[in-house]
Amino acid sequence: MAATGKLSARKVATVKEPGRYGDGGNLWLNVGPTGAKSWLVRYRFQGRARVMGVGSVDLVSLAEAREKALAARKLLAGGIDPMDHRKRQFEASAMDAARAITFETAAESYIEAHEAAWRNGKHKGQWRSTLKTYAYPVFGDRPVADVDTDLVLKAIEPIWSSKSETASRLRGRIESVLDWATARGYREGENPARWRGHLQNILPAKSKVQKVEHHAALPYAELPAFMEALREQVGTSARALEFAILTVARTSEVLGATWDEIDLDRDGGAVWTIPADRMKAGKEHRVPLPPAAARIVQDMGTMFGRTGYVFPGQRKGKPLSNMAFLMLLRRMGRGDLTAHGFRSTFRDWVAETTSYPSEIAEQALAHIVGSAVERAYRRGDVFEKRRALMADWARSVNQ
């Protein structure tokens, strides 16, 4: 090993000629063409020459540079490449910083990353609301790497029996955030919110504690009188609910209906084609419109024009509010009912008063029918049979 201490603090401060000046012990002062000065540690590792920068002269003194060179020589003596060692240290520090990310920050990042794929605009709000109410107060400010089974249970156990559906969704959302954090390198190990093989051994199954709640439905025998009262109501909300009942479509499907989905001039009768990205099952759904439903659409076009939403809200370019049907039913003195419940009314009517096969009714409701194998072989949507069914349904409700 060459002698060390060849440079002095004065030499370092005054030298101006570009070049490299050795201090010994692998340490070199590098003076660049512009006069900038920095420290280099030059060495060989496994027969390969390497040069490692250890800082600017403005930031690292001669004494400090010698300490860095000494540390590098000790690593070399132990068979360790100083540059590889430093790289690993940087990576470890970056990982430690990443792991300091809080659960709330991870959750918000997850929501932002996935909201574009969520078909329902309410989904983002529901995700954030659930986590903000139940998870953030418990471990929102904790590093996501530190979230363990005890913390997850602390958030979901208090509502597991009293609000089983909410608790189940909360658990699933925590699990998704933690999976995302693991994939991004913010945490390691098993997911403490995982149900199968983990929390299922700690908590009772949701089916054991869940109170079954059905959407309030009107008996089909009372529907004609209700429809008569509904037709007396003025406003877009009333026409949209009437349309929803006649088509047995979901509320979100009706409120989001646009004119480019409607074909009033189709041979054989009007058709409403709902694209896959607006359907719960993620599959395009064609709805045969009975004459009464087609007339409602025509009236909407006369009132508002045939562009944008079929049932526009008060705000320009926006559909009716998700609360429109609920508020309408309350104004009618029927707060005991829900819009979704009319789908149950339809299902009861089909089963008890008609001879239509069950699968035809299920197709009309846009439910998934049969196993995956059965669906693969049955590619049609029994459209013409559904048109006959919906015509009979419209006549029944409009008696």
Both 112 and 87 in a single domain?
A: no
Angstrom distance (rounded) from CA 206 to CA 165: 8
- Number of structural domains (the chain) is 3
Both 74 and 110 in a single domain?
A: no
First and final C-alpha spacing in the chain: 105
Residue 163 lies in a domain: yes
Percent of the chain with pLDDT over 90: 58
Q: pLDDT-based confidence at 153, cuts 50/70/90?
A: very high
Both 273 and 196 in a single domain?
A: no
Q: What was the pLDDT predicted at 377?
A: 35
Both 118 and 181 in a single domain?
A: yes
The mean pLDDT value for 342-360 works out to 91
Both 89 and 132 in a single domain?
A: no
What residue numbers bound the domain in which 147 lies? 103-209
The mean pLDDT value for 269-286 works out to 89
In this predicted structure, which of 86-95, 131-140, 229-238, 342-351 has the lowest mean pLDDT? 86-95
Q: What was the pLDDT predicted at 94?
A: 60
Sheet with strand 271-274: strands edge to edge: 262-263, 271-274, 285-288
Both 335 and 280 in a single domain?
A: yes
Q: What was the pLDDT predicted at 32?
A: 92
Q: What was the pLDDT predicted at 26?
A: 92
Cβ contact 156:171 at 8 Å: yes
Q: What was the pLDDT predicted at 1?
A: 46
Phi, psi of 21 (to 5 degrees): -120, 120
Q: How many CB atoms lie within 10 A of CB 296?
A: 20
Q: Give the end of a domain, one of 157, 183, 209.
A: 209
Angstrom distance (rounded) from CA 288 to CA 356: 16
Q: Give the end of a domain, one of 46, 74, 99.
A: 99
pLDDT per position as a tens digit, 86-145: 888 877 766 666 567 899 999 999 988 887 776 556 667 788 888 999 999 999 999 998
The mean pLDDT value for 29-34 works out to 93
Q: What was the pLDDT predicted at 5?
A: 84
With the CA atoms of 217, 222, 227 and 233 taken in that order, what torsion angle do they form, in degrees rounded to the nearest 10? -80
The mean pLDDT value for 348-374 works out to 78
Angstrom distance (rounded) from CA 23 to CA 29: 7
CATH value at residue 294: 1.10.443.10
Both 273 and 347 in a single domain?
A: yes
- Cross-strand bridge partners of residue 180: none
Closest by CA position to 325, among listed 220, 275, 250: 250
Q: What was the pLDDT predicted at 74?
A: 92
In Å, how far are 96, 270, 308 from 256, measured between CA atoms?
A: 46, 18, 10
Residue 214 lies in a domain: no
Q: How many CB atoms lie within 10 A of CB 2?
A: 9
